[in-house]
Amino acid sequence: MKRSRINAIMAEADEMMRRHGFALPPWARWSPETFVARRTEAAEVIDHRCGWDITDYGAGRFDEMGLFLFTLRNGDPAELRAGGGFCYAEKLLISRRDQLSPMHTHITKTEDIINRGGATLVIELYGSDEAGRFAEDAGGRVACDGLYRDYAPGERLALAPGESVTLRPGDWHAFWGEGGDVLIGEVSTVNDDLTDNIFREPIGRFAEIEEDVAPTHLLVSDYDTWLS
C-alpha cells in the first residue's frame, strides 16, 4: 500500500469515529517526530503495540480485502500466560462495505465483536476439527449479546448497531460491512497480532508499504523501524 493511501484512510476513519462519538487518546495525534522524541514516555503504548493499524493482508486489494484498526489499550502476553496483570485489550475497527476480513481464528484470544454504529456487520462462522483446524462441516456455539446460540457451518450472523457476538478460540470467522461501512468495537483478552492470528489461507497480517509521502501518524507496524 502507498503511504499516501494509508494517510487518507486514517483521515477517513478518524472522521467516522468522531461522527459516532469516539475520541482517540491524545497520543494518537502525535507526529512521527513526536513519537521518536517521547518514545521512553510512550513505552507501554509501543511495547503493547497500541495505535493505528491498516492492513490489506499483503494482497494489495484494500477495498476488497482489508481492515482499519486502532488499538486503544492492550496487555502483555507474558502476563496473560502467567495468569495475572494487564490481561485485556480494546480496539476500534472499521469494516467497509463489502470489504472482507478473511477467515481466521485465534489460539488464545477470546473477543467480543460489537457493532458500534453504521451499517450491518455480517460475520460468517465455521467450527474446528479436533486439532483446531478449519472444518467445513463443523459448527459451534457463540454468545450473542450474552445469549447462547448454536451455529451451523457457514452460517452468517447479521449484527445491527448495538448487537454483539463473543468468539472463542476455534470459532473461525470472516466479516464485512453490508449496506455500508461499520464501526466495530472489539473487547478481548490480550491481543497478539504477531502470533495469534491463524488464517485459513496463507496470507499476511500486515501491509507492505510504499513510502511515496511522509506518514501522518505511525502505524503499529512502523514502531520497530522508527522507534528501535
Task: List, for residues 98-151, the tens digit of each pLDDT value.
Answer: 999 999 999 999 999 999 999 999 999 999 999 999 999 999 999 999 999 999
> Which residues lie below 8 Å from residue 21, measured CB to CB, with a gap of 6+?
none
Model confidence pLDDT, tens digit, residues 3-33: 999 999 999 999 999 999 999 999 999 999 9
DSSP annotation of 220 reads: G
* pTM of the predicted model as reported, rounded to 2 decimal places: 0.95
Question: Which grid coordinates are listed for 97?
Answer: 462495505
Quick check: 126 and 200 in contact, CB under 8 A?
A: no
Q: How many CA atoms lie within 13 A of 103 on its CB side?
A: 19
Task: Report CA-CA distances (Å) from 171 to 28, 69, 117.
Answer: 32, 21, 24
Instruction: Count up the domains in the chain and report the number.
Output: 1
Range of the domain at 70: 3-226
CB atoms within 10 A of CB 220: 21
Task: Check which CATH number belongs to the domain holding 137 and give it.
Answer: 2.60.120.10
